[in-house]
Amino acid sequence: MSGMSSRLRTRLSREDGLRELDKVVQKYGVVNGKPFTFKDHEFQIEIIRDTRSRQTVRKCSQVGLSELMVQKTLALATVFPHKRAIFTLPTKDFADKFSKDRIDSAIENSEHYKSMVVKANNSASQKKIGSFTLYVAGSFGSNSAISIPAEILINDEVDFSNQEVLGKLSSRLRHAEMEDERGYRGMRSKFSTPTVHDYGVDGDFEAGHQAYYMVKCKCCQEWVLPNFFEDFFVPGYDGAIAELRRGDLSNPRYSFDKSILRCPKCRADLWPSICDPSRRQWVAKRPDAWEHSYQVYPWDAPKYNPPGVVIRQMGDYPLISDFYNFVIGVPHSDAENSFNVEQAFKDRISDVRMWEYLAGTLMSGMRNAGVVAGLDVGKIIHFVVKARVGKHWHVVYAEKIANTRGSPATPEILARIDYFRCAKVCTDAGPDITLVNNLVEARHQVSAVVYVRSIKGLQPFEVKGEGEVINADRTKTLKELLAKHNNGELRYMSRQDIRDEIFKHLKTTKKIRERSSDGDMVERFIKTDDEDHWVHALNYAQIAGMVMDFAPQGNIVGVLPGVSKVRVGSAADN
């Protein structure tokens, strides 16, 4: 009974403190020399008042969420003394810059927070605010915060962060004193512009109660939620909004500056209603969901994002996916960033008869330069064989092969390499380095592939030494595989169960774009699920084909027997 009473007191203390955060922020917060205010950002009030211990915000850019979270963090230092908080950003470089610019500025502008800071413990990565300790860390390039127990975890730009590190950081809340009704310990807030469906902030948003900032139309008096693709109207343009591209912005027939958002019900101009905070209200799509999640669109801060300004920003982004992600605040998957897994693509079955294909090579007595293979190594080997047909490659065979210490897969793999008379075979360099070494030693045409972040030269791969190792640009080779698949250049074997599994793995692999530390947009492939083995087996087979097509013949001859190590370079993130 006493334990239950203790938990109840802790919960009440936590909730009472959180309900007061908006007042604390307005009392002590200062931005650019002026007292913090929710004016023109009224949508933020309920987000900061929310007492739920798990909270996610899927948002567009430039709506003040980062500033709000800084102010929230400082308010927590006032409300919850003797606690530790971790505030993360994608990289350590970003985290240091953010800390010095946004957090330090918020502290310096407020006499209250400035008086609380312990100067002896005030660096970019760690701040002591009274008895409250704040750690500011990057998810890439810094693991120091992973070992710190914390009560509060705030993750900024989730989709551009290291998901594995974010998961480890969440585990730091397990010993937090604060506990909610469901047994969740500590507090966790995530917010980010989204990238692709089912990844990062989008997955967390879908798992939550999915609150939208709805509006009551002045014309029909209905509560509605405008949708960019269905309710955005450009005078002079009669096509689908989803078909608009940056090149259309210069078309004189389209009056982009007179664009409006229409009411989904009565089709009247909804903007006068949107601009009236008294007609706005958060409404949850799944009110019974325990974790809370919010969607923030640009028109939720209408003063700064009128329709003409919103649509004109399409010109700032070379890829339409970037416009949808950053400006509208929604995930977007298309042929540029996702493998097409529609049935029409599954039905592209190879018509190659391998017995005929191989018969020619048997008669010639030569290894077939038109057959390559790729392996993704693990406890289960994912083995793929591709045959060249004209200018394209067909996936003609795929198999999963068990691989254990007691029964290594080496003999079975070698038997298949010989049966298909593969001219080139590429395998990843681990995690079973013994198997990889045995394959490289046994067959001169086998090379271990090491994923790296960049390759000098025209080709996205570099053959090392006598060919026992190939460094391959992870992003560029996967991007090439994505393009070949979506352009219809790949056909797959007829075995349906394996083909279905391949497409399941393809679905989990997405290309996202993010800003590097120097501000440039860079591309990176991520996975929305752990199962992506077939994707890499296909990619290793593709690299084998590239080597056959482009590498000097002298460089595709493997090592001679007796080589005992595969020399792997600095690998990129898998």
Q: What is the pLDDT of residue 518?
A: 60
Pair 121, 130: CB distance under 8 Å: no
User: Helix, strand, or coil here: 99?
Assistant: helix
Task: State in Å, rounded, how far the first CA of the chain is from the last one.
Answer: 49
Decide the pairing of beta strands 446-452 and 461-464: unpaired
Phi and psi of 92, rounded to 5°? -65, -40
Q: Tell whether the model's pLDDT for residue 248 goes beyond 90.
A: yes
Please name which of 86, 90, 127 lies closest in space to residue 107, comparing C-alpha atoms: 127
Find the angle CA(562)-CA(564)-CA(566) to the nearest 5 degrees. Answer: 125
Q: What is the pLDDT of residue 451?
A: 95
Please name which of 546, 537, 505 lies closest in space to residue 416, comparing C-alpha atoms: 537
pLDDT category at 560 given cuts 50, 70, 90 is: very low
pTM of the shown model: 0.84
What span, in angstroms and rounded, lies between the C-alpha atoms of 316 and 345?
33
Q: What is the pLDDT of residue 564?
A: 40
What span, in angstroms and rounded, lies between the C-alpha atoms of 135 and 226?
39
Please compute the mean of the pLDDT values over residues 153-165 and round it to a whole number: 91
Please name which of 263, 289, 273 lies closest in space to residue 211, comparing C-alpha atoms: 289
Please compute the mean of the pLDDT values over residues 193-214 and round it to a whole number: 96
What span, in angstroms and rounded, lies between the C-alpha atoms of 291 and 52?
7
Q: What is the pLDDT of residue 14?
A: 58
Average pLDDT, the chain: 88
What single DSSP character describes residue 175? T
Q: Which residue has the tokens 């009110």?
A: 287
Q: Which residue has the tokens 């929710």?
A: 38
Q: What is the pLDDT of residue 456?
A: 87
What span, in angstroms and rounded, lies between the C-alpha atoms of 118 and 300?
38
Q: What is the pLDDT of residue 392?
A: 82
User: Helix, strand, or coil here: 58?
Assistant: strand
Decide the pairing of beta strands 54-59 and 187-192: parallel
- Range name among 269-283, 402-416, 451-465, 513-527 with the lowest pLDDT average: 513-527
Pair 469, 567: CB distance under 8 Å: yes
pLDDT category at 548 given cuts 50, 70, 90 is: confident
Q: Tell whether the model's pLDDT for residue 361 goes beyond 80.
A: no
CB atoms within 10 A of CB 56: 28
pLDDT category at 399 given cuts 50, 70, 90 is: very high
User: For the CA atoms of the chain, what is the radius of gyration?
Assistant: 28
- Tens-digit pLDDT profile for residues 471-512: 999 999 999 999 999 999 999 999 999 999 999 999 999 998
Please compute the mean of the pLDDT values over residues 441-467 and round it to a whole number: 92
Structure-model confidence comparison of residues 573 and 216, the more confident one? 216
Pair 296, 68: CB distance under 8 Å: no
Pair 439, 410: CB distance under 8 Å: yes
Residue 514's region, left for phi above 0, alpha for psi from -120 to 50, else beta, is beta
Q: What is the pLDDT of residue 12?
A: 42
Q: What is the pLDDT of residue 556?
A: 43
Q: Tell whether the model's pLDDT for residue 294 goes beyond 60.
A: yes
Q: What is the pLDDT of residue 515?
A: 67
Please name which of 174, 133, 187 lies closest in space to residue 11, comparing C-alpha atoms: 187
What span, in angstroms and rounded, lies between the C-alpha atoms of 141 and 404?
34
Please compute the mean of the pLDDT values over residues 242-258 and round it to a whole number: 96
pLDDT category at 162 given cuts 50, 70, 90 is: confident
- Tens-digit pLDDT profile for residues 66-125: 999 999 999 999 888 899 999 999 988 889 999 999 999 999 999 999 999 998 788 888
pLDDT category at 359 given cuts 50, 70, 90 is: low
What span, in angstroms and rounded, lies between the C-alpha atoms of 215 and 494?
52
- Tens-digit pLDDT profile for residues 407-446: 999 999 999 999 999 999 999 998 999 999 999 999 999 9
Q: What is the pLDDT of residue 463?
A: 92
The secondary structure element, H or E, covering residue 372 is: strand 368-376
Joined together, the tokens standing for residue 65 give 């969420």
Find the angle CA(424)-CA(427)-CA(433) to the nearest 5 degrees. Answer: 135
Joined together, the tokens standing for residue 114 give 């400035």
Q: What is the pLDDT of residue 3?
A: 43
Please compute the mean of the pLDDT values over residues 347-364 and round it to a whole number: 72
Residue 186's region, left for phi above 0, alpha for psi from -120 to 50, else beta, is left
What span, in angstroms and rounded, lies between the C-alpha atoms of 182 and 192?
25
Q: What is the pLDDT of residue 517?
A: 57
Please compute the mean of the pLDDT values over residues 131-146 and round it to a whole number: 79
- Range name among 206-215, 399-408, 561-570 with the lowest pLDDT average: 561-570
pLDDT category at 15 given cuts 50, 70, 90 is: low
Cα dihedral 317, 320, 322, 323 sign: positive
Q: Tell whether the model's pLDDT for residue 201 goes beyond 50.
A: yes
Type of residue found at 422: C
Q: Tell whether the model's pLDDT for residue 523 goes beyond 80.
A: yes
